[in-house]
């Protein structure tokens, strides 16, 4: 949300003067007259120079690079609205194929159902809303009250889970973290479950530490609860980043529809699905997991268009780019990229631990996210992050959620465009920054890293 600033009279008075613009352009008030496209674009570009460099942005999981062919494809699809299913039927066919391919990746049974969303946040809202409605219908049918629904998840979730609980009026039962446990499992969930629980949430690749909740353990718990007490409680898996990691680096681990109580999964295609921002997905185990009353059948654009979304219009570009990436890379290509990111993350972790100033929070076996804490109390991670910013690196320092908030960490998301060479440059910059904030850095050990595949 941004404040409306009609009280401000700031203007762009560009020094390009009459060459590009012969008049002042207001910065906050609605412009009275227009400018040439060159002038307008130049003003926008000039201001954007103040943004960080997406390549050096290790704070975000979101893809900041695609191949030139993808960029060209994006340009040709910018003018297509995904909701216009009758007008752009082939875009819809591609949307459907992308969802099918995802379902295949997550071992969805026949009859699974899903949709592209703007990101994982919308996907999570849709998943949980469906579970809330289904719970209400079951309770109504049994003549039981439908007030005070609750939702169980750990404090390790992304903020969009709390947003769902707030916007859709569901009590949130949050499993607290501790200084030594940054994920959740069945032991913490069981005491919170009751007959008003609409769903339990588990995360595969948490935002804070890149770790994984015990999804299989929670699934087994929900199976036992169903057989002992007759409560059918769905498990929603938030696989925002993990959904495109585990299938490629650890395909044997069961976290997806191979577990019987997993009824819905969300993923951010714009993270390790390797497409630009603007795309997530939600996949449901069965069509019946989405109550029919939530599906809108839109016909005024021609044809029957079943739609389950929070938005109406949305760009088709990210969906089409995801199709491009699936065709371009295949399983084999994703595997190589994920393995390379994991190897680079391990090398970065080793460099950081070698300084003697950091300890990693997890082993980096499945998630290419390097999260380190300081080994000395006098190392100010926030000051260090600022020093790194001077070189252009965007590396966030933050504290963990309540009950583990005494733990402060630095997090670096290793993406496809952070090469091994860039990792070494970053490690050197971290050492320089450490010295600048007054830390003694241990002399480097010489390591021989195994040769890794190139992505």
Applying CB under 6 A, the span of 4-12, 118-126, 330-338, 359-367 interacting with ligand PLP comes to: 118-126
Q: Give the nearer residue to ligand PLP in terms of CB position, either 61 or 244.
A: 61
Q: What are the DSSP calls for 414-447, one per residue?
A: --TT--HHHHHHHHHHHHHHHHHTTPPPPPPPP-
Applying CB under 6 A, the span of 31-39, 115-123, 245-253, 352-360 interacting with ligand PLP comes to: 115-123
Among 57, 77, 92, 121, binds ligand PLP (CB under 6 A): 121
Distance of closest approach, residue 188 Cβ to ligand PLP, in angstroms: 18
Applying CB under 6 A, the span of 116-124, 304-312, 390-398, 418-426 interacting with ligand PLP comes to: 116-124
Task: Please give the backbone phi and psi of residue 213, each rounded to the nearest 5 degrees, phi first.
Answer: -65, 160
Q: Give the nearer residue to ligand PLP in terms of CB position, either 39 or 170.
A: 170
Q: Is 412 in the site for ligand PLP (CB under 6 A)?
A: no
Q: How far apart are the first and last CA of the chain?
A: 39
Measured in whole angstroms, the distance separating CA 412 from the mean position of its chain's CA atoms is 14
Among 63, 77, 91, 120, binds ligand PLP (CB under 6 A): 120
* Residue among 104, 114, 282 at smallest CA distance from 201: 282
Crossing angle for the helix pair 381-390 and 420-436, to the nearest 10 degrees: 120
- Rounded distance between C-alpha atoms, residue 269 and residue 275, angstroms: 6
Q: Is 213 in the site for ligand PLP (CB under 6 A)?
A: no
Among 103, 114, 119, 243, binds ligand PLP (CB under 6 A): 119
The SS3 assignment for 282 reads: strand
Q: Is 280 in the site for ligand PLP (CB under 6 A)?
A: yes
Applying CB under 6 A, the span of 11-19, 199-207, 305-313, 435-443 interacting with ligand PLP comes to: 199-207
- Rounded distance between C-alpha atoms, residue 309 and residue 326, angstroms: 23
Contact pattern from residue 364 through residue 403 relative to ligand PLP, giving x for each residue in contact according to CB under 6 A and a dash for the rest: ----------------------------------------
Q: Is 238 in the site for ligand PLP (CB under 6 A)?
A: yes
Applying CB under 6 A, the span of 27-35, 201-209, 226-234, 308-316 interacting with ligand PLP comes to: 201-209
Among 63, 207, 211, 316, binds ligand PLP (CB under 6 A): 207
Alpha-carbon separation of residue 31 from 11, 25, 36, 42, 93 (angstroms): 10, 6, 13, 16, 41
**In this structure, are residues 289 and 134 in contact, taking their beta carbons and an 8 Å threshold?**
yes
Query: Are β-strands 197-203 and 262-267 bridged in parallel, bridged antiparallel, or unpaired?
Result: unpaired
Contact pattern from residue 31 through residue 70 relative to ligand PLP, giving x for each residue in contact according to CB under 6 A and a dash for the rest: ------------------------------x---------
Applying CB under 6 A, the span of 119-127, 312-320, 426-434, 438-446 interacting with ligand PLP comes to: 119-127
- Rounded distance between C-alpha atoms, residue 355 and residue 362, angstroms: 17
Beta-strand ranges (E) seen in 375-426 are: 397-399, 408-413
Measured in whole angstroms, the distance separating CA 217 from the mean position of its chain's CA atoms is 23
Q: Give the nearer residue to ligand PLP in terms of CB position, either 92 or 241.
A: 241
- Rounded distance between C-alpha atoms, residue 440 and residue 385, angstroms: 17
Contact pattern from residue 157 through residue 196 relative to ligand PLP, giving x for each residue in contact according to CB under 6 A and a dash for the rest: -x-x------------------------------------
Residue nearest ligand PLP, Cβ-based: 119
How many Cα atoms sit within 13 Å of 45 on the Cβ side? 6
- Binding-site ranges for ligand PLP (CB under 6 A): 61, 119-121, 158, 160, 203, 206-207, 238, 240-241, 268, 280
């Amino acid at each position: 949300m941004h404040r409306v600033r009609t009280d401000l009279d700031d203007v762009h008075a560009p020094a390009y003067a009459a060459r590009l613009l012969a008049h002042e352009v207001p910065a906050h008030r609605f412009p009275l007259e227009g400018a040439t496209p060159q002038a307008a674009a130049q003003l926008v570009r000039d201001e954007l120079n103040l943004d960080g460099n997406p390549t050096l942005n290790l704070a975000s999981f979101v893809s900041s690079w695609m191949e030139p062919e993808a960029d060209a494809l994006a340009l040709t699809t910018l003018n297509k609205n995904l909701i216009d299913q009758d007008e752009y039927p082939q875009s819809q066919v591609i949307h459907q194929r992308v969802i099918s391919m995802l379902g295949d990746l997550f071992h969805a049974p026949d009859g699974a159902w899903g949709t592209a969303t703007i990101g994982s946040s919308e996907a999570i809202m849709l998943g949980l809303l469906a579970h809330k409605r289904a719970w209400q219908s079951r309770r109504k049918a049994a003549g039981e009250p439908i007030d005070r629904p609750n939702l169980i998840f750990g404090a390790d979730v992304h903020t969009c889970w709390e947003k769902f609980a707030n916007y859709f009026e569901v009590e949130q039962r949050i499993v607290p973290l501790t200084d030594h446990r940054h994920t959740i499992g069945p032991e913490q969930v069981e005491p919170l479950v009751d007959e008003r629980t609409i769903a339990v949430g588990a995360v595969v690749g948490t935002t804070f530490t890149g770790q994984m909740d015990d999804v299989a353990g929670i699934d087994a718990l929900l199976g036992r609860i169903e057989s002992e007490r007759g409560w059918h409680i769905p498990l929603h898996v938030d696989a925002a980043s993990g959904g495109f990691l585990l299938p490629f680096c650890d395909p044997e681990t069961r976290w997806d529809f191979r577990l019987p109580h997993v009824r819905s999964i969300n993923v951010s295609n714009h993270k390790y699905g390797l497409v630009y921002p603007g795309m997530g997905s939600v996949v449901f185990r069965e069509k019946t997991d989405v109550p029919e009353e939530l599906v809108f059948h839109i016909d005024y654009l021609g044809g029957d268009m079943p739609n389950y979304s929070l938005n109406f219009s949305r760009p088709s570009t990210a969906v089409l780019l995801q199709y491009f990436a699936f065709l371009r890379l295949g399983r084999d290509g994703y595997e190589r990229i994920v393995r390379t990111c994991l190897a680079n993350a391990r090398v970065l972790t080793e460099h950081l631990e070698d300084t003697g100033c950091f300890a990693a929070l997890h082993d980096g076996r499945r998630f290419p996210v390097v999260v380190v804490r300081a080994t000395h109390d006098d190392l100010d991670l926030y000051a260090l992050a600022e020093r790194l910013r001077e070189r252009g690196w965007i590396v966030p320092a933050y504290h963990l959620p309540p009950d583990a908030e005494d733990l402060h960490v630095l997090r670096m998301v290793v993406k496809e465009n952070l090469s091994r060479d860039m990792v070494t440059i970053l490690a050197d910059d971290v050492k320089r920054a450490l010295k600048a904030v007054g830390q003694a850095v241990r002399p480097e050990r010489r390591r021989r890293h195994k040769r890794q595949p190139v992505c």
